Homo-oligomer: A and B are copies of this chain.
Amino acid sequence: MALYMLGLEFTPVSSVVPAAAPADLGTLLHALLLRLYPICRSITGNGVRQTLAILREQLPNMVVHEVPSGTPALDWTVPPEWNVREAWIKNAAGERVIDFRNHNLHVLNYSTPKQGWVPIAELREHLFSLPAQPDLIPYRTSYYNPNWGFCLSHNQLQTLNEAEYEVCIDATLDPNGSLTYGELLVPGEVEDEVLISCHCCHPSLANDNLSGMVVVAELARQLSERPHRLSYRFVFGPGTIGAITWLSRQTPDGLARIRHGLVATLLGGDGAFTYKRSRRGNADIDRVVAHVLRTGGYAHELRDFIPYGYDERQYCSPGFNLPVGCLSRTPFGEFPEYHTSADDCEFVQPAQLVGSLALYERVIEVLEGNQYYQNLSPYGEPQLGRRGLYQAIKSQASPREAEMALLWVLNQADGTHDLIAIAECSGLSFNVIREAAAQLLAAGLLAEKASALSEPPPFS
């Protein structure tokens, strides 16, 4: 057997080598990233609104939802809307030593307003820096514990030696505001849905998660323009409270339509891909992504679900337990630029975005083609030769790969193995198996499992 097994691993070169993608796609994606980068986003506020407006330029059917502050959402409440006009620290000479205009990260995200002279000792309790990375500004938030503060490089912090500083955070926390998220349904032939979700609440962090937004927006745009079997639901919302708010507004029937899902995040940087399985551990999406990563020749890592991370935490909470994994490059906290000012538009390169997009496209390609079939001639092998499906002169131990695929599909298509399972047990690539299934379907030897003919005729 070993002979014909050799060399069959699927290597979709085009998706591994982003160079094969149109040169301008990378430029396009990166241009969008550059445009979104300067916006000051948070879990609520105009930053998110402005971001979604830009995405709607290419996704005109996306619906932007505004959920009033104070609305109950599962165990939570939609928080006040935060906006900030300016924020600075002035020294005795009236110079702005820290200024929000220089970098969005300078203000503690969701900071309460503050105005006045503050003694240096008190001020220090509201300043956040990274002693181990003294050049970088950290990203800090305080959503649910009212607090004010500034983030700055440790080098900057060291220079603050005056006795007191004038502080201004001209921010509003409006209890009559709203939380904003975008949602786009791209309908397919069937109602079964793939949920693709990415968080849009981080200000001026390119990898986390402008990279996810940019890749997903392009994916949504492409799917909108071509026919496909499954329906795709894209959610762009703030982390945690966005997913919770979205979930709180769904019906049980709507959630039941979600057959597969991915949280898309951290799709830039030069790291290998990482797939974190859904809580179920062996959902279709888990098997499909693992197959694509393995057979696609991607450097990658598979990890089991843990209840920490991005919005898969909410989708995979035990009451919902949706089949949603998280497909990223290097995970959060495992690269030095994470949650600092070094996560910028230089850190995320065009080719990385294009490579991530190609991987998502390949996953979708497999999801689209992955079905259950029933062999309609399950007693003995059907005679492939008279249907033109088999080589005539048998001479060698190893039939062509395409013939092996026909035999594998016929043998395994008993309604309990999907094509991915057949690809896995045969060692053949999904594409070859899917092509075989298509030929057998055309020859009347297979039925889709969902059809009326789901049971084989009895043997008598």
A319 touches B456 (CB 8 A): yes
B75 touches A380 (CB 8 A): yes
The reply to whether the CB of A7 lies closer than 8 angstroms to some CB of chain B is no
Binding stretch for chain B, among A50-58, A306-314, A341-349: A306-314
Which of the residues B319, B379, B425 comes within 8 Å of A379, measured between beta carbons? B319
Given A318-B411, A333-B396, A411-B318: A74 and B385 interface contact (C-beta under 8 Å): no
Given A318-B375, A339-B395: A76 and B140 interface contact (C-beta under 8 Å): no
The reply to whether the CB of A35 lies closer than 8 angstroms to some CB of chain B is no
How does the 8 Å CB contact mask read for A260-286 relative to B, with 1 for contact and 0 for none? Answer: 000000000000000000010000000
Q: A393 to B144, alpha carbons, bound, how many Å?
A: 8
The reply to whether the CB of A150 lies closer than 8 angstroms to some CB of chain B is no
Copies of this chain, how many?
Answer: 3
Which of the residues B378, B379, B394 comes within 8 Å of A141, measured between beta carbons? B394
A331 touches B1 (CB 8 A): yes
Q: Which residue of B lies closest to A393 (CB)?
A: B142
Given A252-B460, A339-B395, A408-B307: A381 and B320 interface contact (C-beta under 8 Å): no
For residues 359 through 394 of chain A, which have their beta carbon under 8 Å from a beta carbon of chain B? Answer: 375, 377-383, 385-386, 392-394
The reply to whether the CB of A3 lies closer than 8 angstroms to some CB of chain B is yes
Binding stretch for chain B, among A80-88, A223-231, A397-405: A397-405
For residues 203 through 254 of chain A, which have their beta carbon under 8 Å from a beta carbon of chain B? Answer: 240, 243-244, 247-248, 252
Given A252-B460, A414-B318: A140 and B394 interface contact (C-beta under 8 Å): yes
Q: A425 to B305, alpha carbons, bound, how many Å?
A: 10
Q: Which residue of B lies closest to A144 (CB)?
A: B385
A75: chain B residues within 8 A (beta carbon): 377, 379-383
Q: A338 to B248, alpha carbons, bound, how many Å?
A: 66
A392: chain B residues within 8 A (beta carbon): 142, 144-145, 147
B380 touches A411 (CB 8 A): no
B395 touches A318 (CB 8 A): no
A460: chain B residues within 8 A (beta carbon): 252
A375: chain B residues within 8 A (beta carbon): 318-319
How does the 8 Å CB contact mask read for A332-358 relative to B, with 1 for contact and 0 for none? Answer: 111000110000000000000000000
Q: Could you show 19 A-B contacts with beta carbons less than 8 Å apart? A: A3-B333, A74-B377, A75-B377, A75-B379, A75-B380, A76-B380, A142-B394, A248-B380, A304-B425, A307-B410, A308-B407, A313-B411, A314-B380, A317-B380, A317-B410, A317-B411, A318-B378, A339-B395, A339-B396
